[in-house]
Amino acid sequence: MKQPLVKRITASVAGALVALSAATLAMGPPGGDHDPARMLRHMSERLELTDDQRDQAEAIMQAGKTESGADRQRLRELRGELMAMESAFDPDAARKAADEIGEITSRMVYRYASTYAEFYALLTDEQRAELEQLKEERGERRQDRWRKHHE
């Protein structure tokens, strides 16, 4: 009789942890370190964007930020609700929050991909090649950090 209860509690805790992980991932780096303006300045320099391209890219990024503002706020609220359950865990409420986090995360991932595609469409073939090089370099740096962290 105790076995099914233990399994349900374990599954609920695991579900809450997954939900918290998804919310954290969707909200971006801790402390709000993600700075789109800094990223745009860096991309403008590296890709040698024209003034027109830079203005269009800024408008695209601002629209994406505006559209995702309410979702980011709701994710913070949901994460707070889940964290508040530490002493009185409610599996039904946690599952509902996790489902909502999944929906919001899905919208945000789609919005990011759409925004990126709009930005990519602004670029010339040469700029796209340079962007691919930048992405490759970033991936290598991430792998190096991952290896150092996991050694």
Number of domains within the chain: 1
Q: How far apart are the C-alpha atoms of 145 and 151, rounded to whole Å?
A: 10
Residue closest to 28 by CA, chosen among 135, 140, 109, 146 = 109
- Can you give the pLDDT at residue 4? 66
**Residue 13 · residue 89 · CB < 8 Å:** yes
Decide if 17 is inside a domain.
yes
Q: Let me know if residue 134 belongs to a domain.
A: no
Question: Angle CA(41)–CA(45)–CA(49) in degrees, nearest 5?
Answer: 95
Low-confidence ranges of the chain (pLDDT < 70): 1-34
Q: Is 70 helix (H, G, I), strand (E, B) or coil?
A: helix
* pLDDT, position 20: 43
- The residue segments making up the domain with residue 38 are 2-124
Q: How many helices (H) and strands (E) does the chain have?
A: 5, 0
Query: Residue 27: its pLDDT value, please?
Result: 44
Q: Do the domain assignments include residue 57?
A: yes
- Confidence (pLDDT) at 26: 45
pLDDT at 37: 79
Please check whether residue 130 lies inside any domain of the structure.
Answer: no
